[in-house]
Chains A and B, each alone.
Chain A
Amino acid sequence: MTTPHTRLADIVKTARQPLLEGWLANLREALGDGRIANAELTHQATDLLNLITAALESGTDIQGDGWTATRQMLEEISRSRAVQGFSWTETAMFVFSLKKALFTEVRRALGSDAEALAEATWQSNVVVDALGMHTIQTFQRSREGIILRQQEELLELSTPVVTLWDGILALPMIGTLDSSRTQVVMESLLQRIVDSGSEVAIIDITGVPTVDTLVAQHLLKTVTAIRLMGADCIISGIRPQIAQTIVHLGIDLRGVTTKASLADALAVAFDRSGLTVVKRHAS
């Protein structure tokens, strides 16, 4: 049997130990200081090399069935790298550093046979590149997964609807308002109004750094939706700069009750609900 990939498989199998040592040396050089424990690195490299050795028997198409175990291991490694916060380069280096060691071994085995050497070198190049690509792909997917999850967590984090009093809800908004956030905020507030039967909702924008026309439009939409459902809405926490911006931008806030502080808004809410706060006389 002299098909190129079995020849490559043979080389890898016979030169397993020097290959591993060469790879590990390259790895240590590429990754520098010990962010990954030496033992763990050796362990991962040994496992992966064993899997590659076995898989090479089946061919060099790494999407094939023979490579399933190798692909899974690479996915696992790149996922854990992504979680640990490694960079693209560091993750890809893990696979690509195999190349130099592999080329050295191929050259040692096929030294004089130029044609076979070129063929085997090309084969190993293809395999290592494909493995590297697969690693990066998984790494990217894991990263995207992490970002997506964090975005969702942020959305949940930033939309707490609190009950200030029986029938009075407050929504302290924090951070910049964009369309998707406003949508989530609006929906959760409206749902809470229905669930609790609250007649007054206070939106506090103390934590909103800037108000532009878009943010104002989102706010107005929320206020209108709340009114349509039959509840009242008060906007509080408008800072002096924001009041100035709103007027300069020509945003029409007529028909919306606005208050400077949450306390003022609460006082209005009490008034509308027919409640009074009285101070107990000192006995």
Chain B
Amino acid sequence: MERIPILRMGNLLLVTIQVDMHDRLALTLQDDLTTQIERTAAKGVLLDISALDVVDSFIGRIIANLSRMARILDARTVVVGMRPAVAITLVELGLSLQGVETALDVERGMRLLRRPPTPEPLRADHHD
């Protein structure tokens, strides 16, 4: 069965979505990622979606949920490399991914994860 690989780098997990994200694949990823975080006690997750060029509301929700689940398991999630078209679509769908950290590329995302988490008073309301 098709799976999205989850790579371990120190105490970080790197998830690169290179294929078209369909609904079942997204649900499998959700299972795999939570299992991996638990198993490796990872402190951070880098979700690289730079190859993703089509999103729908379901995938948008999955991305938000992944980040929320990771946080419950004590891992920070940074979504990196979102394309302009994807960002516009998500905004038009009303999904602003509140509370999800973002970075322009993997390198910057990595840097962000290595820094101690800064409390963000301006984006304090974590409800969608």
Contact A191 B122 (CB under 8 A): no
16 A-B residue contacts at CB 8 Å? A186-B88, A190-B87, A194-B83, A194-B104, A199-B108, A224-B96, A225-B84, A225-B87, A227-B96, A228-B79, A228-B96, A228-B102, A229-B83, A229-B87, A230-B79, A230-B104
Name the residue on A nearest B97 (C-beta). Answer: A228
A228 contacts B91, C-beta separation under 8 Å: yes
- Which residues on B sit within 8 Å (CB–CB) of A199? 104, 108
A-contact bits for B68-96, CB 8 A (1 contact / 0 none): 00000000000111111011101110001
Q: Please provide the chain A residues from 169 to 191 with a CB less than 8 Å away from any CB of chain B in the complex.
A: 186-187, 190-191
Q: Closest CB-CB distance, B126 to chain A, in whole Å?
A: 11
Residue of B nearest to A190 (CB): B84
B88–A230 touching, CB < 8 Å = no
Residues of A within 8 A of B125 (CB): 254
A167 smallest CB distance to B (angstroms) = 10
Which residues does B use to contact A, with CB under 8 Å? 79-84, 86-88, 90-92, 96-97, 102-105, 108-109, 122-123, 125
Tell me, rounded to whole Å, the shortest Cβ–Cβ distance linking B108 to chain A: 7
Indicate whether A229 sits within 8 Å of B104 (C-beta atoms), given known contacts A187-B84, A190-B88.
yes
**B76 shortest CB reach to chain A, Å:** 14
Known: A221-B91, A225-B91, A255-B122. A230 touches B102 (CB 8 A): yes
Task: Please tell me if A197 contacts chain B, counting CB pairs below 8 Å.
Answer: yes
A197 touches B104 (CB 8 A): yes
Contact indicator B80/A225 (Cβ below 8 Å): no
User: Interface extent on A, as a size class?
Assistant: 20 to 34
Q: What is the minimal beta-carbon distance from A193 to any residue of chain B, in angstroms?
A: 7
- Given A191-B84, A221-B91, are A230 and B109 also a contact pair (CB < 8 Å)? yes
CB distance from B49 to the nearest CB of A (A): 10
A226 to B88, CA, bound (A): 9
Complex contacts, B90 vs chain A, CB 8 Å: 225, 228
Q: Determine if B108 and A230 form an interchain contact, defined as CB atoms under 8 angstroms apart.
A: yes
Measured CA separation A78–B82 after assembly (Å): 50
A226–B86 alpha-carbon span in the complex (Å): 11
Residue A215 CB within 8 A of the other chain: no
Question: A231 in the interface, Cβ–Cβ < 8 Å?
Answer: yes
Chain A contacts for B96, CB-based, 8 A: 224, 227-228
